Structure 1
Amino acid sequence: MTQHSSRDKALGMDRAISRRDFLNGVALTAGALSAGALGGMGFSGSPARAEGTAYPPGLTGLRGHNPNSFSVMHAVRDGTFWDKAGAPEASGETYDLVVVGGGISGLAAAYLYRQQSGGKAKVLILENHDDFGGHARRNEFTASNGRKIIGYGGSQSLQTPSYFSAAVKQLLADIAVDTEKFKTYYDQDWGKKRGLGAGTFFRKELFGADALVKEEEKAADWVPKSPLNDKAKRDLIELIDAPRDYLPGKTREEKLKTLSETTYAKFLTDICGYDPQLVTYFQNSTEGYFGMGIDGTTAADAWGNWNPGFGGMDLGETPHRSMSPSGRLALTDPDPYIFHFPDGNAGVARSLVRALIPDALPGQGMESLALAAVDYGKLDQDGAPVRLRLNSSVVKVAHDGSPDSAKSVTVTYSADGKLKTVAAGHVVLACWHRVIPYLTTELGKEQVEALNDQQKVPLIYTNVLIRNWEAFAKLGISRFEAPSSFWHGASIDFPVSMGDYKFADTPSDPVLLHLSKVPLTGEAGVSTRDQCLAGRRYLTQLTFEEMEREIRDMLGRALAGGGFDPARDVEAITANRWSHGYAYEYMRPWDQYWPDGALPIETARKSWGRIAIANADAGAYAYAHSAIDQASRAVRDLLGHSDNLPAYADFPGPPRDKIGLK
């Protein structure tokens, strides 16, 4: 039985709450990651915390990437799977298309394939997780007052519809997702009407004293209240309120070249001459957008990430400005950041499932999606034209003969400890790039190397249900950042109301707090890919208990002035661990070919025979519209291109000729 210290008891670590944790707090060590080791690690504890109930959004236990979802492929990777797998059983099932991966890209590929092949194609979607949507994960809670609270555990929003290709716009319209309606669903003035702004929590371990400071329009009005040293205060005020030309005498072209070759950390210290505390203050400010701290993000990219310091440098016409999720001015988005379902892009995934398998999610219109429950028992029904099979890990895809002339593909997958095969006329691999070389022996060395170039960015998206937001109201904030801390900070969830689902109104209402972490553990000067690899290893050893303690400690200290009590006010915690999270996006200084050279994805995503590749990895762009674009391209690779079909975006993100944009 776990013994709790007096500090833990004050934080509420001994309280019985609704948790979704890591094997009930047991660290996943390297040795436990093999299929054999995991077989002996059952879920102990109360039934409320056990896996296997019928409704995944309400499951307790591990969410995100859990052992059941990755144990099979880890065994394949380690070369131990086939030693014990035995001979596969032929299911006798034949489909026009088999999709490997039930995320947004896989679901979109299934929809587009049926649409573009006449609407009668038989499709099977195989997904290794216990829920569909991939990173577009829905979390549901029931507050102590009986109210249902819905949150997102991964893919967040439909960012920047102005960038969407014709193919993305058409698919969203076809599945009844109207982005214009979010202008009504999303209350852009929710915080303003309640007098709420943003704050920064300075931790004593880093800055000498605990202090929550509410930010004002001018840095000079709030920075002096912080525990920064005197020079750092002067420097930060200048950087935000009156940035100088830090590269005087250089031409605009020379400035942009320097900024694209210098990290933002070095920009602050070596070029601006500012106090190193500013590096600590801004260190994780770029992680949410780039998956990399400022020690490995160029100043040019930091400019595109709304970091301050460039207003006096005459860098030319800046991209359109709009409000970012943190409330700061963003240089990358011409649209407001409001295109968000209550469950994030799980709303898009659910719209696709409704269009593919109407019996599983009856109803019409966006408004009904918020509170509608999927009937998971109807996702995989005999005789249905589209079947979505969960907890099924594909381990092999092979053409039945030469890829150039074969008429079918055999797909082998593992489910319930058994190997089965299905026959497919076509296959879309909507799984991670680095998985694909383990599924097939039909690829050349160059394509395998290009596929392995995609090193996913690890992250944790955590939802904390609190019984009310009175502490936030008293402090006058809706969010706060925590520079260089375990968590990046905390924010009240996006104020979205759809149909009968209503967002919190008064401070006495329960709300979700959203917390995130990009676990990068490398040192300065280490490449993004290597930091991501180290971060993923760290993440597999991190226990839920450690995460929960950090949550309660941060909230208790940051919100103490508002009367928040972590032992009393925390009602539930859901941790969505994504060991393989964001698709890796090319960036300087690690990718010297960016933005002008040939890209690895151009080689990696090439189709062969009857098999095509989708997923956001194929666009090197970690956004839902990229996942849909790559699904569109994959289906066209299989069925042929036509002038009558809407165009997809064949670039990894916004135009590459704009400095600071990705």
Structure 2
Amino acid sequence: MSLSSRDLGMDLPITRRDFFDGIAVGCVIAGGTPGKAEAAADPPAAFTVRGDTGEALSVPHALRDGRFWEHAGPEVPTGESYDLVVVGGGRSGVSAASEWLRRHPRDRVLVLDNHDELGVRAPARRRVRADAVMCDAASYGTDTLVRTSSPGWAERLPFSGRELLRDDPPDWFPGLSAEDKQERLAGLTYSEFLREVCGAHPDVERFCRTMSSPEWGYDTRAFGAIDAWGTGYPGFGGLGLDREKLSRFNSPTVRGQGGPPQALALDGRARVRLSSPVVSVRDGVVAYFDGHRVMTVGAQAVILACWSAVVPYLVPGLPDGRRAALRQAVRVPLVEAAVRLRDPGAWRRLGVRRVRWTGAYWCWCEFTPPDGVRLLATPCRSELGPVAGSVAGRRELFATSYEMLEHTVRDQLARLLGPVGFDPGGDIAAITVHRWGHALPPEYCRPWHAFYPDGPFPSDAARGRFGRIAIAGSDAGPGSEVRAVEELSR
């Protein structure tokens, strides 16, 4: 199906905001007000972009590039003093502030964040299973929806060589012990396992490629074979390995360890300042940019619950080894779209809830009752690996126009739901896109981290108290919020 922009509803009279980092940074370094610039360009509710927008990232990027202080002007003291200042208002920051107030209920606490929402970040890794796969035109030349929950589904795939997906495979490593087989898997990505070990047809590898994308933010060209086995992907049935006894090489997520911190409610007990990126933490003083000037507050203690890679730009005097370890925490980009339908009848007629796409921009579509659709896109250039691929994918994401994001949402919903009566021009009430250039926290895993699981780990070198400053956040590992509070309470 090929629809024109008019058919997709792209000609509807709504304003689409193309407010990129360069414009926002230009306002900041010239002493302007990003908030006012955005207000002048804000679109109606029909299409909204949130998350890592240009205005949220302009100051951090200016700090990174060494441009901020040249134009920032003198610091202006607010005269305020706090027992604790938390830098970062995501789950980790809210959890750290809540834990501090649980222990010190009379203390004054301030939470600062560069975004315009508190406690909202990209989804944590969660294991999901599709009940249908769209073998899309980008992969196979034409769109073919295959319901994988129905018997004999593999026979309906639009390619050959699908025996690996249908039958029990052989033992690819005969004569090796279970530990040796697991170690062999730990040295391969899942795509390499399919191609080099199983001899799978390229169409089969392409079909499996996005299996890991909704959970990990990158596809099977970067996803380890050892974790693919631990997750139950095809191709491993003949190895005789017991998935009830996972390997020491499996990642913490596959082993069921860690996970996102539980964000507790602040209940109004802490002050919160949004759209207030922190620019310096030193000697009991925290400085942040309020859109006009650099403001300062006094701080008896500081918890940095922001991205670890930002910390070296905020805290002068950190040892070189610690700065290097913090910069290794490269996050995976992710884009999430929430679509509100005027009439969800077409999706109900489709008869499935979760659809994985094999090669389109949005790799995942999920119906969210009563009238919503959730889509995920994973910009990581997986063929480069999780770290280099995230950096390259983030750069491409920030150069992607909002119009393109809207067009692909409408196009894919039309291709999926059009055959059951969906009209992308009339049936979409609103689209909200959360663009997260720095979304999923890094995780040590094979085959990319040879030091895993025995260590030592870069996060160990990055953690620990530095004067009256402690580091928390998902980059610092599970439980880092409580650990940071304990370190500063000694």
So what's the TM-score if we normalise by structure 1? 0.67
Q: How do 1:204-603 residues align onto structure 2 when only pairs under 5 Å count?
A: 204-218=137-151, 221-228=152-159, 230-231=160-161, 233-238=162-167, 242-318=168-244, 349=263, 351-354=264-267, 357=268, 386-399=270-283, 409-493=284-368, 504=370, 511-521=371-381, 524=383, 526-603=384-461
| Pairing 1:114–2:101 present | yes
- Asked if the contact 2:344/2:372 (under 8 Å) is kept, the reply is no
- Asked if the contact 1:28/1:542 (under 8 Å) is kept, the reply is no
**Residue number in structure 1 paired with 2:123:** 155
CA distance in 1, matches of 2:31, 2:413: 34
CA distance in 2, matches of 1:82, 1:265: 46
- Asked if the contact 2:472/2:481 (under 8 Å) is kept, the reply is yes
Q: How do 1:160-239 residues align onto structure 2 when only pairs under 5 Å count?
A: 198-218=131-151, 221-228=152-159, 230-231=160-161, 233-238=162-167
- Asked if the contact 2:172/2:197 (under 8 Å) is kept, the reply is yes
**Deviation at residue 478 of structure 1 after TM alignment:** 1.1
Give, as a single letter, the amino acid of the residue that structure 2 aligns with 1:294.
Answer: T
**Deviation at residue 70 of structure 1 after TM alignment:** 1.5
- Asked if the contact 1:104/1:134 (under 8 Å) is kept, the reply is yes
SS class of match (2:353)? strand
Q: How do 1:582-661 residues align onto structure 2 when only pairs under 5 Å count?
A: 582-619=440-477, 626=478, 629-640=479-490
**Residue number in structure 1 paired with 2:113:** 127
Q: 1:59 to 1:425 in 2, by over 3 A?
A: farther
CA deviations over 1:203-238 (Å, ceiling 9, x no partner): 2232132211212354xx11222212x22x333322
Give, as a single letter, the amino acid of the residue that structure 1 aligns with 2:335.
Answer: I
Q: 1:16 to 1:464 in 2, by over 3 A?
A: farther
- Asked if the contact 2:463/2:476 (under 8 Å) is kept, the reply is yes
**Residue number in structure 1 paired with 2:5:** 8
Aligned length, in residue pairs: 479
**Residue number in structure 2 paired with 1:105:** 92
CA distance in 2, matches of 1:520, 1:29: 19
CA distance in 2, matches of 1:37, 1:577: 26
CA distance in 2, matches of 1:215, 1:38: 55
SS class of match (1:465)? strand
- Asked if the contact 1:305/1:332 (under 8 Å) is kept, the reply is no
Give, as a single letter, the amino acid of the residue that structure 2 aligns with 1:303.
Answer: W
Give, as a single letter, the amino acid of the residue that structure 2 aligns with 1:428.
Answer: I
Give, as a single letter, the amino acid of the residue that structure 1 aligns with 2:436.
Answer: W
CA distance in 2, matches of 1:31, 1:88: 23
Give, as a single letter, the amino acid of the residue that structure 1 aligns with 2:314.
Answer: L
**Deviation at residue 486 of structure 1 after TM alignment:** 0.8
- Asked if the contact 1:130/1:390 (under 8 Å) is kept, the reply is yes
CA distance in 2, matches of 1:634, 1:10: 54
**Deviation at residue 319 of structure 1 after TM alignment:** 5.3
Give, as a single letter, the amino acid of the residue that structure 1 aligns with 2:63.
Answer: V
**Deviation at residue 61 of structure 1 after TM alignment:** 4.0
Q: 1:47 to 1:257 in 2, by over 3 A?
A: closer
CA distance in 1, matches of 2:376, 2:474: 21
Q: 1:386 to 1:6 in 2, by over 3 A?
A: closer
Q: 1:111 to 1:471 in 2, by over 3 A?
A: same
CA distance in 2, matches of 1:637, 1:31: 40
SS class of match (2:83)? strand
**Deviation at residue 571 of structure 1 after TM alignment:** 1.3
CA deviations over 1:378-414 (Å, ceiling 9, x no partner): xxxxxxx621111211111111xxxxxxxxx111111
Among the aligned pairs, what percent are the same residue? 34
Give, as a single letter, the amino acid of the residue that structure 2 aligns with 1:155.
Answer: P
SS class of match (1:353)? coil
- Asked if the contact 1:289/1:305 (under 8 Å) is kept, the reply is no
- Asked if the contact 2:285/2:297 (under 8 Å) is kept, the reply is yes
CA distance in 2, matches of 1:546, 1:467: 22
CA deviations over 1:550-572 (Å, ceiling 9, x no partner): 11111111223322221121111
RMSD: 2.9
- Asked if the contact 1:448/1:604 (under 8 Å) is kept, the reply is yes
